[in-house]
């Protein structure tokens, strides 16, 4: 039986449709003075995240209850993948992992190695630190953005260098698409988000800063705004605006409304960033994933995560980080229960696309559920399909 979710003895639901439209239209009228038409939208879903900060739902939810299928993909390679692998790209036929010690590894959809390479160094064909990676399926090329050297590299599926281009956008590049277009967020200039092509031609500027912002307020806006990069799409949550935007090469597209209520920062609060970031009176440095018909929201300022149903506006699950005894360890995250009965909790996905959420786990956590796996094997991808 489906559980009812309550907050202050009230059922948590999406605001009345007429109220949502009315509030949103007013917001759009005000915001339209500093946005282009492609940045506007209407009829957006509303998440009342502030109302649900202390929902304290029973800790009974598991990912198993909403997934349609689960795949476990052991990564098969002669290379030793270290303790901090990062999923940079995931599709049904290509997986790309970045590892601090091994470098870049590409696998097919069954986890079999296609190529591994490590061209880290100061040379003309080498990168200093791979911060973003994507794959161009049409050309079978791997795009790699060097965040320390401000360069955009291309490598083929044999790991050979193809070319490199300067890529200093003046901001922080948080995402590159499969065509090599780069998406940067900025702490100076006129706009928070800029989009560049692979030849460093400016394609567009979006989400303009308030014209009265000081340089310090722009820096605070940059640091406290939510930026979700663990997926194929860059998503930003401007700290003083409840509208969440998905960024594409066509522009900044309104995606949903995150209603922060009295916890929303004002432009004046940006002048006191250090106090505001450490205060539980505000919501900032947030993340928002979406997959299938769900929103996954997380705020580090309150150590709270929320799972919302897009169709009904109901809060499905809630969790807050808790310290383990007197240690510095924290328990945080919704549970996934293996067929063996073993379980794990994670506060974040390693990668998300439209209908899949990916976790990467060490082999010794999956021994009872993957036949033939040993504790010394490389990590396993757990793919939840919604």
- Among candidates 348, 365, 366, which has minimal Cα distance to 357? 348
Per-residue pLDDT at 294 exceeds 90: yes
User: Under a CB-based contact definition with an 8 Å cutoff, are residues 249 and 258 in contact?
Assistant: no
Q: Domains in the chain: how many in total?
A: 1
Mean pLDDT score, 36-44: 50
- Name the β-bridge partners of 166: 151
Residue 274 structural domain: 6-385
- Name the β-bridge partners of 106: 96, 115
pLDDT tens for 79-119 read 999 878 999 999 999 999 999 889 999 999 999 999 999 99
Place of tokens 């919604």: 386
Per-residue pLDDT at 29 exceeds 50: no
| pLDDT band per the 50, 70, 90 thresholds, residue 323 | confident
Q: What is the DSSP string of 52-78?
A: TTT----TT-BGGGT-SEEEEEE-B-S
Report strand pairing: 251-258 vs 46-47.
parallel
6 Cα distance to chain centroid: 28
Mean pLDDT score, 177-196: 96
**pLDDT at site 16:** 43
**pLDDT at site 42:** 59
Q: Distance (Å, rounded) from C-alpha 97 to C-alpha 93?
A: 14
User: Under a CB-based contact definition with an 8 Å cutoff, are residues 227 and 173 in contact?
Assistant: no
CATH (domain of 201): 2.120.10
pLDDT tens for 337-356 read 999 999 999 888 999 988 99
Would residue 362 count as lying in a domain?
yes
| pLDDT band per the 50, 70, 90 thresholds, residue 214 | very high
Count other Cβ atoms within 10 Å, centred on residue 292.
Answer: 16
User: Under a CB-based contact definition with an 8 Å cutoff, are residues 360 and 338 in contact?
Assistant: no
Would residue 1 count as lying in a domain?
no
Q: Which helix (H) or strand (E) holds 217?
A: helix 215-224
Per-residue pLDDT at 38 exceeds 60: no
Q: Distance (Å, rounded) from C-alpha 157 to C-alpha 230?
A: 23
**pLDDT at site 370:** 96
Q: What is the three-class DSSP state of 253?
A: strand
Would residue 212 count as lying in a domain?
yes
């Amino acid at each position: 039986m489906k559980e009812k979710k309550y907050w202050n003895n009230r059922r948590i639901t999406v605001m009345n449709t007429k109220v949502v439209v009315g509030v949103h239209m007013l917001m759009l009228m005000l915001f339209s003075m500093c946005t282009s038409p492609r940045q506007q939208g209407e009829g957006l879903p509303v998440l009342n995240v502030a109302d649900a900060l202390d929902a304290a739902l029973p800790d009974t939810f598991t990912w198993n209850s909403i997934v349609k299928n689960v795949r476990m993909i052991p990564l098969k390679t002669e290379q030793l993948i270290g303790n901090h692998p990062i999923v940079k790209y995931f599709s049904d036929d290509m997986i790309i992992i970045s590892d601090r010690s091994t470098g870049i590894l590409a696998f097919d959809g069954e986890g079999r190695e296609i190529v591994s390479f490590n061209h880290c160094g100061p040379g003309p064909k080498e990168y200093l630190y791979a911060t973003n990676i994507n794959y161009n399926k049409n050309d079978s090329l791997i795009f790699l953005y060097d965040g320390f050297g401000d360069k955009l590299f291309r490598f083929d599926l044999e790991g050979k260098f193809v070319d490199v281009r300067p890529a200093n956008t003046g901001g922080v590049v948080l995402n590159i698409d499969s065509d090599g277009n780069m998406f940067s967020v900025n702490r100076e200039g006129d706009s928070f988000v800029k989009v560049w092509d692979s030849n460093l031609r400016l394609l567009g500027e979006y989400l303009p800063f308030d014209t009265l912002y000081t340089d310090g307020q722009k820096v605070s806006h940059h640091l406290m705004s939510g930026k979700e990069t663990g997926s194929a799409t860059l998503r930003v949550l401007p700290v003083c605006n409840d509208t969440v935007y998905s960024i594409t090469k066509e522009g900044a597209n309104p995606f949903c409304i995150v209603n922060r209520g009295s916890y929303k920062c004002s432009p004046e609060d940006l002048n006191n960033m250090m106090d505001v970031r450490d205060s539980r009176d505000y919501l900032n440095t947030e993340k928002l994933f979406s997959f299938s018909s769900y929103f996954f929201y997380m705020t580090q300022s309150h150590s709270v995560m929320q799972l919302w149903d897009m169709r009904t506006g109901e809060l499905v699950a809630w969790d807050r980080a808790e310290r383990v005894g007197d240690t510095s360890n924290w328990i945080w995250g919704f549970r996934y229960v293996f067929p063996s009965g073993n379980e794990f909790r994670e506060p974040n996905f390693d990668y998300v696309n439209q209908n899949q959420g990916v976790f990467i786990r060490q082999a010794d956590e999956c021994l009872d559920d993957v036949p033939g796996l040993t504790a010394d094997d490389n990590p396993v991808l757990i793919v939840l399909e919604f």
